[in-house]
A and B are shown apart, each in its own frame.
Chain A
Amino acid sequence: MLIEVRGVVKSYAKGAETVRVLHGIDLDVGDAEWVALMGPSGSGKTTLLNLLGGLDVPDEGSIVVGGEDLVGRSPAELAGWRSRHVGFIFQLYNLLAVLTAYQNVELPLLLTPLSRKERREHVEVALSTVGLSDRMDHYPSQLSGGQQQRVAIARAIVTDPSFLLADEPTGDLDAKSAHEILDLLQALHEHYGKSIVMVTHDPAAAKCADRLVHLEKGFLVADEVRS
């Protein structure tokens, strides 16, 4: 099992109030599995995704990924773990506007001991995988939304992470671009065996996943394996 989540509770302070976002979530994600997290706004999907990616820590419960327990680790340890194991894909791409496509994709590799030449090879492969070899020197503002998301995917896969976390990867795209992105994720999942946990509201995106997990008001209410 790649990811094992047990009894995870997460609350946030909202003014003087404490709001519980996740109420004892249990979830398993297998190797090379694509799980879609669905549910209405405020159901805790993104919070759960953040916890799986080590961007946040639960108040209670345990999260074990690839045999490593994330709970109790320092922010620096979690940062190191993220750089080795997780590829993030965000709804609004989150590319750095001041860097070119090449430089954005290269960023995660700066945390590795790879040489400049090796980094270049990795970046070229990643950008070629997402079909943007000819846009390396373009800045995000010079790319369409779909192209920017493909650069973001290249950045997510360039370190060959254990799994990908995607937060509404098609949420800001038109139907055609969304379709291309889903095809790309599908290819990564099928050809490279990448595990994917994806938050989505989009039924078309959800159809691509192996499993649909529904959250409502912080509770896991349905876990459906698609045939």
Chain B
Amino acid sequence: MPWRLLVAHLRRSWFRTALTAAGVALAIFLLATLRTVVTGLQSVVKDSNANRLVVTSALGLFKNQPVRLRHELQTVPGVRDVTDWTWFGGVYIDEKNMFSRFATEPATLRRVYGEGPRPDIAMPADQWEAFEADRGSCIVGMGLVREFGFAIGDKIEMTGNIFPGQYTFTVRGIYLKGRDQIDEAMLFFQWKYLEQSIERDGGTSEVGIFVLACDPNVETGAIARDVDLRFASSDHATTTVTEAAFNQMFVSMWGNVPLLLSMIGGAVLFAAFMIALNTMLLAGRERRLEIGVLKALGFPGGVVATLLVAESVLVCGTGGVAGVAAAHWMFDIRRVEILDRMFPGFMILPETALGAVAIAALVGLVSGAVPAIVATRTSVVSGLSRRG
């Protein structure tokens, strides 16, 4: 097999080779990125904790619930712990500084999310203790540290909008995410601090959602039914779902975006295929004489076809690897904060990377196959009768 010929062609038409590989690389980069958005959304649901239940108001997610439910929920058989999250909103310096801020109960947040061999919210014990001890404290994720340069002891001034007023939080802890799907750009502060403000303004003490940590090996569906039955006839009926179902609700808000992204990915892929096919058809046409000469010298048609297919697979495969490498560098190594914020754990999965490279190679295979078939069918005499 005259592999040297393959290398020689790539070197001779290096600019065209580079452009084709770059075109495929760009397409594969986009494809891997779009696919990662879809897998990122799916992973939020897939990697949810099976032992957690989320209790929202039956009237909807944005209807807060009486804080006294916390104690009642704690008495439900199978419920090990209860914590709560209340969406605070607020403005930090400027409205464009968007990140999630929640009022919560530090001790239960720690027990539900911050303990165990692989806690979702990983933070040193002394920082948890400082958070619990100081009513005006807060903890922030490492993403916010990277973006705003927060450090332990810093004061964070915030203007309330849902809960009007001026708020000042002291940073007492910096957490790291324990798994990719946890947002590292959240701020948690004590609900009691918020309660003071609400009561001062004559409001009622309410929280957004309750999160129930259930005992291991219990049937969470039964607990959810039990919870909802308890409050069904009260003025604060609940809807209790698994953490996975709760996350699914957020994913559903994206509607047909994953489908749309997949369609865009398909269009990008088709464009890459057209680029590669055009290049290889041109290469095949330019080499009619060469194909004739090789066949005249005694090289079987299969060898000539293999060279064309191998060249195409090599160029497209290289483009595919480059595209995936660029996506890996951008999203997994360098990380793009905005994507991290929108899709916690936004990272190129190994199966996405392998799939993208395989698709690039497949594009090369099909693109090379067309001129290869033409080459195989070209008679020696016909090939020799053409000049480059």
Contacts and interface: CB of A to CB of B under 8 A. Distances in A.
Same complex: yes
B379 A79 contact: no
B134 interface: no
Contacts of B290: 96
Contacts, number: 64
A83 B298 contact: yes
B300 A96 contact: no
Interface string B291-315: 0111111111100000000000000
In the complex, which range does the number of interface residues on chain A fall in?
A: 20 to 34
Given A83-B298, A110-B1, A99 B8 contact: yes
A111 interface: yes
Nearest to B8: A98
B380 A110 contact: no
B1 A55 contact: no
Given A97-B388, A98-B5, A99-B5, A108 B297 contact: yes
A34 interface: no
Contacts of A55: 296, 380-381, 384
Interface in A192-212: none
Contacts of B381: 50, 55-56
A79 B4 contact: no
Interface string B368-388: 000000000001110010011
A103 B12 CA distance: 15
B14 to A, nearest CB: 11
B299 A94 contact: no
Interface string B1-27: 110110011011000000000000000
A207 B18 CA distance: 52
By size class, the interface of chain B is: 20 to 34
A82 B388 CA distance: 23
Contact of A79 (B9, B292, B293, B295): B295
A98 B298 contact: no
Contacts of B5: 96, 98-99
A92 B387 contact: yes
A88 B6 CA distance: 23
A84 B295 CA distance: 13
Given A96-B293, A98-B8, A79 B384 contact: no
A56 B380 contact: yes
A90 interface: yes
A173 interface: no
A131 interface: no
B289 interface: yes
A75 interface: yes
Interface string B55-68: 00000000000000
B379 A98 contact: no
A225 interface: no
A94 B293 contact: yes
A79 B8 contact: no
B382 to A, nearest CB: 10
B304 to A, nearest CB: 10
Contacts of A90: 384
Contacts of A97: 12, 388
Interface string A100-114: 000100011011000
A46 to B, nearest CB: 9
B379 A107 contact: no
Given A55-B384, A94-B289, A97-B388, A111 B4 contact: no
Contacts of B289: 94
Contacts of A107: 2, 294, 297
Contacts of B8: 96, 98-99, 103
A80 interface: yes
A84 B297 CA distance: 9
A138 B295 CA distance: 24
B297 A88 contact: yes
Query: Lowest 6 A-B CB distances belong to which pairs?
Result: A83-B298, A98-B8, A55-B380, A98-B12, A82-B298, A94-B293
10 contacts: A50-B380, A79-B298, A79-B300, A80-B298, A82-B297, A92-B387, A98-B9, A103-B4, A111-B297, A111-B298
